[in-house]
Amino acid sequence: MDSQDNLSLKKRLRYQFDNFMSQGGFAVFLALLSAFFAAFVLMTLVRYMVELIFPNEGSPDILWEVFVQLIGLRDVGDDANFAAKIVGVFAIFIGLIFFSSLVAFVTQTFEEQLLMLRKGKSIVVEKDHTLILGFTDRISDIIEELIVANESEEDAVIVILAEEDKEVMDDFFRNNIADFKTTRLVTRNGSVTNLKNLKKVGVNDAKSVIILNEAKGADLEDFKSLSDSRVVKAILAVVAANEEVKLPSIVVEIHSEQYRRLAETIAPGVVTTLNEADILARILVQTSRNVGLATVYLNLVGFEGNEFYFYRPTLGWKNISFSKLQFHLPGTIPLGVRQIDGSLMLNPPKDYVLANNDEAIVLAEDDSAIEFYPEPTVQPREIGYQDELKVAERKMEKYLLIGWNNKTAIALGEYAKYVIPGSQVNLVVRDLTDEIKAKFDQIAKAYPDVNLQVKEVNVDSIEQLKTLCPYEFDSIAILAGSGKKAEEIDAKTLTILLELRQIFREYTAQTANKVMTDLIAEIINTEDTDLVVKAGVKDFLLSNQFVSKILAQVSQEPDVMSIYLDLFSADGSELYIKPISLYFPEEVVRQVTFADCVLAAQSRDEICLGVRINSEIGIREKNYGINLLPKLDRRLFLSLDDALITLAEDEG
């Protein structure tokens, strides 16, 4: 019975010891430290007893001698007697065990912390940082945009949480981003839907959260649906981690309309969703009908170049009308008004008088450039057409769309909304499946006044491309195909461009007629822009860069998304590039200032944002001829080949 009790006691003690040691590194450290201290006390008592029985000459400092012997810094000494030497040997031996174990434990713990840091598992202690969840091919463009946005801050922070290894992410950013300027980049590894991981990266103190979608537009619908559901789960995790209070603005990219509605209902007014296909398809159509608009949009979205701001002067607007406002805000262009209820008006009536609580929607290079002057800073001249306005005659249009992806159906519908009855829109695909045919027929049925046609053509064959008579179209838009890498997708697009250019050359050589068809291409990789320009492309849609810029800007100012939605829509006012001859007679074109252009556009109920110089269209260093926000008093020396960039209700 006693033996059983003793055995149970041993088990209980062992169990308690195991529980104590399982608490982690600090418990192990305490155990080793306690053992070392116990050894120190024991050996000190033994040494005192030996010293009483076999005293040494002199008065040794026993406490110090025992301690330095335990940590291995001192031997027993030649002048000690035999008993003291025996005790010293035991002290050194015991110290070798316990102190070495303690040092080894500290070293191991330090190495584990370094390993944890390398793996990206340590906590982030930051405030007002931008948190990015996920790691996709958009990440570098988003980071570059945020770096530009953070230039005015002394110590800005971007934190990235993704399932990729921290070392992989760090190497990627070092290789792809040349200058971080005033921004620090912090990477951490872990699941983006895990609450502990989110709290570890400071989601409670973040000013905004960007959630990236793993799926690309060209991926299968099942994978896009799965990726959308993961994004929604990540939104729920962010809301839960913040306990639904003081939520940061959350910006996400979601492909499915169903999941977008679901995401926006999780935290109304906090979650902003972006539909890549919808936005890019609208931009593609507008660009193919107004060559140069893609470059204009690239200058508007993001932080590099010009940005949208909401501005209200401290002392109010002093009953100023919107038409006069443009000459009281030098260095900027007012595009509209945000009223106190949050509603937006782009290109409001000229006689609209701003209320003191209205905010002007202003396009400017930086918010520091925005200043309201009570008096106009420049007096424009009425040298443009004022009474008898010229109207651009609308003609039948003919467009060719090559390729089928998630933007094609939207683009077909947008073309049909813009063109006049009787115009023609052709679609060419490699494989005309029943699904594509059904979607196309549905669109064609919805727009019976537009001649919509679809053909199955091997676009890799120059002979089959010739059967399309591509030189007869006003513009040809080539949509990005499918592929695992951006380089692979762009290579296919570039091949089609070169084949079309060859067809154009042969046609001109045979007929002596110059081909007027504009080529528009969707490009995935930003680095391929020079190649497509040399291939004869008049304009290009950088799909990755567009979406990345919008995600970055909306994360810092969520209300900007409503401006983009208005600009990209066929309803209301859109951007156009219109010939200068609609605004000024030939004899005054070279004399006009930008203020004169602004006034001339106002006479047509339009807002002038800048000019396009025709002679600079193919020059990258000249921004492909696009010049936004010149100084109001600057003389432009335009020609009849140049154009104004305006915000207008229609293209007339």
193 within some domain: yes
CATH of the domain at 250: 3.40.50.720
**Half-sphere exposure in the Cβ direction for 388 (13 Å, CA):** 1
Q: What is the pLDDT of residue 3?
A: 45
Q: What is the pLDDT of residue 460?
A: 87
Residue 592: CB atoms within 10 Å: 25
Q: How far is it between the farthest Cα atoms of the chain?
A: 124
The span from the CA of 161 to the CA of 133, in Å, is 5
Strands (E), 430-497: 451-456, 475-478
pLDDT, tens digit (0-9, with 9 covering 90-100), for 100-137: 666 676 666 655 655 555 565 678 888 899 999 999 88
647 within some domain: no
Q: Which of 392, 396, 385 has the alpha carbon at shortest distance from 422?
A: 396
347 within some domain: no
Please say whether the beta carbons of 234 and 205 come within 8 A: no
The span from the CA of 510 to the CA of 346, in Å, is 49
Q: For residues 114 and 135, state if they share a domain.
A: no
Q: For residues 50 and 84, state if they share a domain.
A: yes
First-to-last alpha carbon distance for the chain, in angstroms, is 106
Q: For residues 68 and 205, state if they share a domain.
A: no
Helix ranges (H only) for 71-178 are 82-119, 139-149, 166-176
DSSP string over 367-421:
GGG----SS-S------S--SS---PPP---EEEEE--STTHHHHHHHHHHHSPT
**Beta-carbon contacts of residue 230 (< 8 Å; ≥ 6 apart):** 193, 214
Domain's final residue, options 546, 578, 598: 546
The span from the CA of 624 to the CA of 540, in Å, is 11
Q: For residues 155 and 178, state if they share a domain.
A: yes
Q: For residues 486 and 530, state if they share a domain.
A: yes
Please say whether the beta carbons of 401 and 419 come within 8 A: no
Please state whether beta strands 208-211 and 183-189 pair in parallel, antiparallel, or not at all (unpaired): unpaired
The span from the CA of 428 to the CA of 423, in Å, is 17
What order do you get walking across the sheet with 183-189 strand by strand?
183-189, 156-162, 130-133, 208-211, 249-253, 271-274
137 within some domain: yes
SS3 118: helix
Residue with tokens 């109207």: 391
Q: For residues 110 and 140, state if they share a domain.
A: no
The span from the CA of 520 to the CA of 479, in Å, is 9
The span from the CA of 585 to the CA of 383, in Å, is 8
pLDDT, tens digit (0-9, with 9 covering 90-100), for 443-502: 999 999 999 999 999 988 899 999 999 999 999 998 888 777 777 888 888 888 889 989
Range of the structural domain that residue 518 is part of? 398-546
The span from the CA of 40 to the CA of 48, in Å, is 12
Structure tokens, 88: 């010293």
Question: What are the backbone angles phi and psi of residue 401, rounded to the nearest 5°?
Answer: -115, 120
Number of domains in the chain: 3
Residue 555: CB atoms within 10 Å: 26
The span from the CA of 355 to the CA of 370, in Å, is 18
Give the long-range contacts of residues 464-469, CB within 8 A, separation 24 or more.
465/496, 465/499, 465/500, 465/503, 466/503, 468/400, 468/426, 468/428
What are the Cα distances from residue 199, in Å, to 238, 242, 362, 408, 470? Answer: 9, 8, 37, 41, 56
The span from the CA of 126 to the CA of 424, in Å, is 56
Domain's final residue, options 274, 305, 335: 274
Q: Which residues make beta-bridge pairs with 647?
A: 575, 607
Q: Which of 555, 581, 594, 571 has the alpha carbon at shortest distance from 641?
A: 581
Sign of the torsion angle spanned by Cα atoms 364, 370, 376, 377: negative
The span from the CA of 350 to the CA of 322, in Å, is 5
282 within some domain: no
Q: For residues 404 and 542, state if they share a domain.
A: yes
Rg, Å, the chain Cα set? 35
Q: For residues 179 and 262, state if they share a domain.
A: yes
38 within some domain: yes
597 within some domain: no
Q: For residues 70 and 150, state if they share a domain.
A: no
Domain's final residue, options 223, 247, 274: 274
The span from the CA of 561 to the CA of 301, in Å, is 10
481 within some domain: yes
Q: For residues 40 and 9, state if they share a domain.
A: yes
Type of residue at 30: L
CATH of the domain at 64: 1.10.287
Identify the H or E element spanning 331: none
Q: What is the pLDDT of residue 282?
A: 85
Structure tokens, 126: 């930051």
Residue ranges in the chain whose pLDDT is less than 70? 1-29, 31-32, 36, 51, 54-61, 64, 66-103, 105-121, 387, 526-543, 570
Q: For residues 240 and 140, state if they share a domain.
A: yes
Q: For residues 68 and 190, state if they share a domain.
A: no
Q: What is the pLDDT of residue 391?
A: 75
Q: What is the pLDDT of residue 338?
A: 93
Q: What is the pLDDT of residue 535?
A: 60
